[in-house]
Amino acid sequence: MEKIPQAAFREAIANALIHRVWDIDSHIRVSMFDDGIEVVSPGGLPAGITAEEYLSGKLSVLRNRNLANVFYRLGFVEIFGTGITRIKQLYAESLIKPDFEVSENAIKIMLPLFETNVNLTEDEKVIYKLLSKTMLKSISEIAPYVPFGKSKTTHLLKTMGEKGVVAVEGKGRGTKYIIK
């Protein structure tokens, strides 16, 4: 089973190459982490397109038409302007969604590990999205970001621990949680 959808990774790399600004002396950066892959492309959005239009997939402006045509003919991209939409579709069933960050000088796509833990309740899924596979978090680091009180959050974390989804380390005030 793929931890990160191959098609999403291919789309992120193709987008970075096709839409990057080539006159900036910078490189595309691909970083691999325990919880995902980050692809950063130099250059922001082309003139005439907003971040909202780009992220919604409503509008795409080809910055490098010749390169885009080569990728299309080689079968690396299917239809121009659908990369972000396809990445989102590939993660539709995942608990953790990709993150897209657009700035004036770069576009960053974070592809998380594909997680579909279907045996979680909706409330447990809310908590699961806040947890990490690499960093222990205490109840005081989780509770402010969920719509439940501390006691319900603690109970949900305990249940998730019993299901084998979350590891519980420590006792009392020193209790911390991490995704198994």
DSSP for 19-64, written as a single string: HS-TTSS---EEEEETTEEEEEEES-PPTT--HHHHHHTS----S-
Residues of the chain whose pLDDT is less than 70? 1, 58-59, 78-81, 118
Q: How many CB atoms lie within 10 A of CB 180?
A: 11
Please tell me the predicted confidence (pLDDT) of residue 61: 72
Residue 178: its H or E element: strand 176-179
Find out whether 11 and 22 touch, Cβ atoms under 8 Å.
Answer: no
Please tell me the predicted confidence (pLDDT) of residue 40: 95
For 140-144, which contacts have Cβ atoms below 8 Å and span 24 or more sequence positions? Answer: 142/177
**Taking each helix axis from N to C terminus, what angle separates 6-19 and 65-74, rounded to the nearest 10 degrees?**
150
Instruction: Tell me the three state secondary structure of residue 95.
Output: coil
| Location of structure tokens 């980050």 | 38
Find out whether 28 and 41 touch, Cβ atoms under 8 Å.
Answer: yes
State the Rg of the chain over Cα: 19
Query: Virtual CA dihedral for 63, 67, 71, 73, nearest 10 degrees?
Result: 120
d(CA 5, CA 91): 8
Six-digit token string for 25: 């002396």
Six-digit token string for 165: 């989804």
Please tell me the predicted confidence (pLDDT) of residue 155: 94
Closest CA to 175 of 125, 131, 140: 140
What tens digit of pLDDT does each residue of 116-141 get?
A: 776 889 899 899 888 887 889 999 99
Q: Which domains does the chain have, with CATH numbers?
A: 6-112 (3.30.565.60), 122-179 (1.10.10.10)
Six-digit token string for 55: 């992220």
Please tell me the predicted confidence (pLDDT) of residue 79: 64
d(CA 19, CA 67): 9
